[in-house]
A = this chain, B = another copy of it.
Amino acid sequence: MGQAKQFDSHLLNFLSSVDVASGTPLYQQLQTLLLFAIASGKLKPGDQIPPARELANRINANVNTISKAYRDLVVMGLLYTRRGMGVYVNPDMSERCREDCRRRVIANLAAALTQCRTSGLGDEEIKELVAKLLSSNIPPNAPLPSSFSKFLKS
């Protein structure tokens, strides 16, 4: 018996910030977290990522769920695996990963903005809303503060 081998807890903590109740599949959440970690440099080329078993145990998920998340990223070329050893960040892909990541983020933002327009908000209102959102640092899944009520009616 004895304590299971401990992996770098920074990364473990980061990857543990998944929300089981969020509706989006666990393996997809993990993939997004890993993508951002690689793109931002939090995970460097050659770094080992937590063994599937350990992360699974940590977040009370099944090994296969974690493995699937890893496997897809391996297929994309972002990670590579060495059987018996672990999963590692591919050294050649960080640059491309950052760009892909940004493209996704910008596409998301663009979609959100067109949705704002569709709902009847004008461009100036949208800019004001963006500025207000950026400066007020609302936590995710929190109810909208009353200071935003002017944007609900127009």
- Nearest CB in chain B to that of A122: its residue: B134
B126–A113 touching, CB < 8 Å? no
A99–B133 touching, CB < 8 Å? no
Q: How far is the CA of A113 from the CA of B137 in the complex (A)?
A: 10
Chain B residue numbers with a CB within 8 Å of A113 are 109, 130, 133-134
> How distant is A57 from chain B, measured CB to nearest CB, in Å?
26
B110–A109 touching, CB < 8 Å? no
Determine which residue in A40, A99, A109, A140 has the highest number of CB atoms from chain B within 10 A of its CB, and name it: A109
A108 interfacial by beta-carbon distance below 8 Å: yes
**Given A103-B152, A144-B103, A151-B102, CB of A116 within 8 Å of CB of B127:** no
Chain B residue numbers with a CB within 8 Å of A129 are 106, 109
21 cross-chain CB contacts under 8 A: A39-B120, A40-B119, A40-B120, A98-B152, A102-B151, A102-B152, A103-B144, A105-B115, A105-B116, A106-B129, A106-B148, A106-B151, A108-B112, A109-B116, A109-B130, A111-B112, A113-B133, A126-B130, A127-B130, A127-B131, A130-B130
A119–B102 touching, CB < 8 Å? yes
A118 interfacial by beta-carbon distance below 8 Å: yes
